[in-house]
Amino acid sequence: MSTGAAKTDILQGTLDLMVLRTLETMGPQHGFGLAKRIQQISEGVLDLNQGTLYPALLRLEQRGWVRSEWGASESNRRAKFYQLTRAGRRQIERESQDWERTVALMARFLRPAE
Amino acid sequence: MIATWKRLLAFFRGARLDRDLDEEIAAHLAMQEEEFRQRGMSAAQARAAARREFGGVAQTAETYRERRSLPWLDTAVRDLRYALRGLGRNPGFTAAAVLSLALGIGANTAIFSMYHALLLRMLPVSHPEQLVTLYRTGGWGRGFSSYPLYLEIRKRSDLFSAVFGRSTVDKTPFRAANGDRPETAQVELVTGNYFAALGVAPAIGRLFTDDDNRTPKGHPLAVLSYDFWKRRFGGDPAVLGQTVTVDQDRLTVIGVAARGFRGVEVDHHPDLWEPAMMADTDFADVNQYWLWILGRRRPGVPLAKVQAAMQVLLQQHLTGIYGNHPNAGYRKMAMDQHMEVRQGGVGLSYLRENFTKPLTILLAAVGLVLLASCANVANLLLARGAARQKEIAVRLSLGATRARLMRQALTESLLLAMAGSAIGILLAWWGERGVLQFLPAASGEPFDAAPNPTALAFTIAIALLAAALFGLAPALRSTAIDPAECIKSGGGEAGHRGSRLRQMLVIAQVAFSVILVALAGLFGHSLAALRSVDLGFRNQNVIQFAIEMPMAWKPAQTTAVREGLLARMEALPGVSLVSFGAPGLFQNGSSSGTVRVPGSEATAHEPAWVSMQSVAPRFFDVVGSSPLLGREFTPSDTAASPKVAIVNQAFVRAFMPGEPHPLNRVLSFDEKTFLPIVGVVRDIPYQGLREKIAPAVYVPVAQSPTFFGSVLVRTALPRESLAPAIRKETEKLGPEIAVSDPRTIRQRIDDTIFQDRLVATVGGFFGVLALLLAGVGLYGVMAYSAARRAREIGIRIAMGAKRSAVLWMVLRGSLVLVAGGLAIGVPISMVAARKVAPVLFSISAGDSLTFVSTAVVLLAVGLAAAFVPARRAASLEPMRVLRQE
């Protein structure tokens, strides 16, 4: 834990928000693109099997937060593109607030005692 | 919610979505590979690295699929597919199993749906459980009461919140304003509070109130049933205020009763209601029994209290009328009446009186049939489980859990049960029609043509029960194996326990069939006894129909109409002889009177009751029963000639035992006129084959006019070809004269013993069915055990055992099983026989002929079922068997 190199297991529920946020900033994106982007942002801290992304995407789609359609990738390959829905945007807002609250709370506990 | 729905959708598009996922993953991997290659990896390295980055492809796909769909549904479908494949591979097994289940389930559905319709279904009225019917019993008919009695009961508001009455439902001439030809409608006369007391609302218009039932013939109103309104008037609300003609009365339609309300009788459903005051009767007459009384019990008043109060009320009522009657015999008969208070919520039914017992017996019998067919299917499953033991062992050792395999086995059972009930429902429909054939023509229509939800729910419930019954033991059995052992031994040596279970099942099957066959035997023997009752006449093919003229007609008028009709009947081609009798032979209803026979002990103190018939000339000639002594009536016995009488043998036995010259004696009805006995005829059990033959007096109809009776037509033609001509003639009589359908006396007799014919025939059918199932089961077990012992038998034969000894050894095995079944089945069927004893005729519950033949039949089935396996075993070639090992 002391070394910054340690990779973190993914926290339940965080992957959803990461995917949603990534889609929000990047716009429609295929699975591979999303995986790469998430790895980039987490700067290697996150030990993510790219495959885990797909069940997560399915879950988001089932809840109506993203929708998908087949399209052509940059290299003109057939790929499935995911896109944020309006409900997804609302969900990001909700979850971001939750997170901020949680983070602020945890920060109070973790601050060196005075 | 949305997620579940999407998952359910995904479930049905599984294959396409699988392809989608594969493609998506492939695209992902390809893009990653390309990136790695661009970074300088070799193709192979890039490929491996891409997969590493991705994680387990198969695992992802599996998680994905699980997430995508509903896992339990997925496994269920996989089990279903597996079961279907398994069943498809063994069409013989599947057909046998489904068929025997269909028979068991179908029989139960058929009998239960009738039982439900007749005995369980509540009337669609408010609080049906509060309703009671007041059922009059005793010497003077049953069910109906008089109007004065109704008025007295109605005063008892301490017991009832309402008391109401209704007549029979009668087919009546009907004509609508727009009708161009005469029709008939089922009409019920009801007291004014009928609808209110039942809590039935109008669909349109209004219903009767007490104000609509005050003065005789003063309320020409009609309420239609919902069905009739829809059927006859197309549901047109303009029917309100229209005039319809019913019988002779012009009635104004004031309303239509609520949808679904079909009257209070189960067997007959009125199309139209009239106020009781419209009846052609004297409302003050205490001897006119035409009103069936129902009451709504006040909450908290126990049935027993109502019963006691009604009995007292009836006795006081009767004492008031007959207490001082000079004729002691008449008085005794009149006072011997009771009022049974019965639950009325299930409606009234004449059929219920006679049909409950046979139906209950059949319900028990079909329960046994279901058990027998479950045992049969369980046996088949066990046999197949033994054959599939190796497959199961392999699957177990490959990691399938036992629960998983059990679930698959039960899925298969469920599938069999469902297929069985689908076919069973068809069989039930057909079987119900078969049973209805037995009902007398006058029984009405108590049973729906369409299957009702309760009966269907019952079918599904018994199908599930059956699946659990026959599926569980084999499922437990076939999965409880040690895979290693089984695979080592090559799967050939099925557990000993398995075959023990099969033997027990076969013994159970034999026991079930013993019970069914014994009961069928009892009923068959009882029916044969009824059939052999001496009828006292030969011509059972005489066609008979009842006529009823208006009661108000004078004797001259009724005589003229009757004689005209008889003459026209005699003129029909193919008719040889015609006569008339009132009431007639094996008709509903009877006539009776009191006589004194001078010189007889039996009538010395008080007159005795005898059965009466008013008959026309040549009555006995028509039915084929020549007088034993004297003569029968001739056209010269007229109203003006001296009054005479004919008596039966029972009369002679009762009132002049040992008299060598009955024709020298006289009898008297009124103790003023003395009628010489001019003939003695054979006893004819015309009140029913089961009834003790009563002393009967026949008098000439010319000297004892009646407005009703039966026309008897002797012909060599079959009924079907003559009946239309008869109907055509009787239609000319006009609407005032009611005529019943012409039927042969044979058919009438069949109607009177329909319960016996029904239970004997249907019971026999079930008995044969159970025998067949037991035979199949025995054959299966014997063939299997003989095959398993082939090696042992081969060695025996090689050692010099006689082939006949081998044959006997196998047969004996089967007989032991049958003996086991008999040992269980015979005592149970003896108990069952005591239960059904009341419906048996002239044979006892311990009828030895029945039980001995049951045992013989089952032993014969045992031998027959084992014969083929036994012969196969006896003709084994030892060398071949031993070489096979």
Q: From residue B640, give the alpha-carbon distance in Å to each of B612, B637, B706.
A: 21, 8, 16
Residue B623's pLDDT band (cuts 50, 70, 90): very high
Q: How confident is the model at residue B162 (pLDDT cuts 50, 70, 90)?
A: very high
pLDDT band at B573 (very low <50, low <70, confident <90, very high): very high
Range of the domain at A40: 14-110
Residue B110 pLDDT exceeds 70: yes
CA distance B677 to B58: 106
CB contact under 8 A, B28 and A52: no
Residue B884 has pLDDT above 90, yes or no: no
Contact: B57, A32; criterion CB under 8 Å: no
Write the pLDDT tens digit of every residue in A10-38: 565 688 888 999 999 988 989 888 888 88
Peptide bond connecting B583 to the previous residue in cis, omega within 30 degrees of 0: yes
CB B223 within 8 A of CB B306: no
Mean pLDDT of B285-305: 91
Give the lowest-confidence range in B226-235, B424-433, B559-568, B668-677.
B424-433
pLDDT of residue B605: 85
Residue of chain B with shortest Cα separation from A78 = B27
Would you say residue A8 has pLDDT above 70?
no
The reported pLDDT for the residue numbered A3 is: 35
CB < 8 Å from B in window 49-108 of A: 49-52, 54-55, 58-59, 61-64, 73, 75, 77-80
Q: What is the mean pLDDT of residues B759-778?
A: 88
Q: Is residue A9 part of a domain?
A: no
- pLDDT tens-digit map of B443-465: 777 776 566 788 888 888 888 88
State the average pLDDT over residues B410-425. 90
pLDDT at A48 over 60: yes
Please judge whether A49 and B24 are an interchain contact, meaning their C-beta atoms are less than 8 angstroms apart: no
CA distance A87 to B240: 59
Task: Indicate the residue of B30, B31, B60 with minimum beta-carbon distance to A54.
Answer: B60
In chain A, DSSP finds a helix count (H) and a strand count (E) of 4, 3
* A2 vs B: CB within 8 A: no
Query: For residues B622 and B613, what is the distance between their CA atoms, to the nearest angstrom?
Result: 15
Q: Do A75 and B23 touch (CB under 8 A)?
A: no
The yes-or-no verdict on residue B221 having pLDDT over 90 is yes
Instruction: Compute the distance between CA of residue B722 and CA of residue B715 in angstroms, rounded to an integer.
Output: 8
Give CA–CA dist B550/B256, Å, rounded.
30
Q: Which residues pair with B743 in a beta bridge?
A: B544
The alpha carbon dihedral of B650, B653, B658, B660 has a sign of negative
The DSSP letter of residue B238 is G
Contact by Cβ (8 Å): B603, B768: no
Nearest residue on chain B to A71, judged by CA atoms?
Answer: B24
More confident residue, B494 or B162: B162
Under 8 Å CB-to-CB from B137, ≥6 apart: which residues? B337, B338, B339, B340
**Residue B851 pLDDT class (50, 70, 90 cuts):** very high
Tell me the residues of chain B between 13 and 52 that have a Cβ less than 8 Å away from chain A.
20-21, 23-25, 27-28, 30-32, 34
Q: Check A50 against B28: CB less than 8 A apart.
A: yes
Structural domain count of chain A: 1
Using a CB-CB cut-off of 8 Å, the residues of chain A touching B24 are 31, 54, 79-80
Say if residue B697's pLDDT is above 80: yes
What are the structure tokens assigned to B652, written together? 């002679």
Above 70 in pLDDT, residue B71?
no
Amino acid at the residue B793: I
- A73: domain CATH number is 1.10.10.10
pLDDT exceeds 90 at position B229 = yes
Query: What pLDDT score was predicted for residue B656?
Result: 93
Does residue A4 sit within a domain? no
Cβ count near B240 (within 10 Å): 16
B15 pLDDT above the threshold of 90: no
User: Can you give the pLDDT at residue B309?
Assistant: 94
Nearest by Cα to B225 from B185, B284, B193, B191:
B185
Of the partner residues A55, A62, A79, the one whose CB lies closest to the CB of residue B27: A79
Strand partners, B608: B595
Section B96-105 average pLDDT: 88
CB B337 within 8 A of CB B318: yes
Task: Give a yes or no: residue A7 inside a domain.
Answer: no
Alpha carbon distance B364, B360 (integer Å): 6
Find the closest chain A residue to B59 by CA distance. A51
Asked if residue A5 has pLDDT above 50, the reply is: no
Helix (H, G, I), strand (E, B) or coil at B718: coil
CB atoms within 10 A of CB B280: 13
Is any Cβ of chain A less than 8 angstroms from the Cβ of B60?
Answer: yes
Inter-CA distances, B138 with B135, B334, B336, B617, Å: 10, 9, 6, 33
Best residue of B4, B18, B24, B36 to probe chain A, by most A CBs closer than 10 Å? B24
Looking at chain B, the whole-number percentage of residues with pLDDT higher than 90 is 41
What ipTM, to 2 d.p.?
0.84
pLDDT greater than 90 at residue B188: yes
- Rounded mean pLDDT, B201-210: 95
Partner-chain contact A31 B56, CB within 8 Å:
no
| Residue B398 token pair | 């490959």
Residue B97 tokens read as: 């199993």
CA B368 to chain centre: 16
- Asked if the model's pLDDT at residue B163 lies above 90, the reply is yes
Report CB contact under 8 Å: B31, A58: no
Average pLDDT value for chain B: 87
Examine the pLDDT at A1 and tell me if it is beyond 50.
no
Instruction: Count CB atoms within 10 A of the CB of residue B762.
Output: 24
Q: How far is B57 from chain A (nearest CA, A)?
A: 7
Residue B330's closest CA among B322, B340, B338, B319?
B322
Size of interface A-B (CB pairs under 8 A): 69
Take residue B615 and report the two structure tokens written for it.
Answer: 């008959």
Region B664-686: mean pLDDT is 93
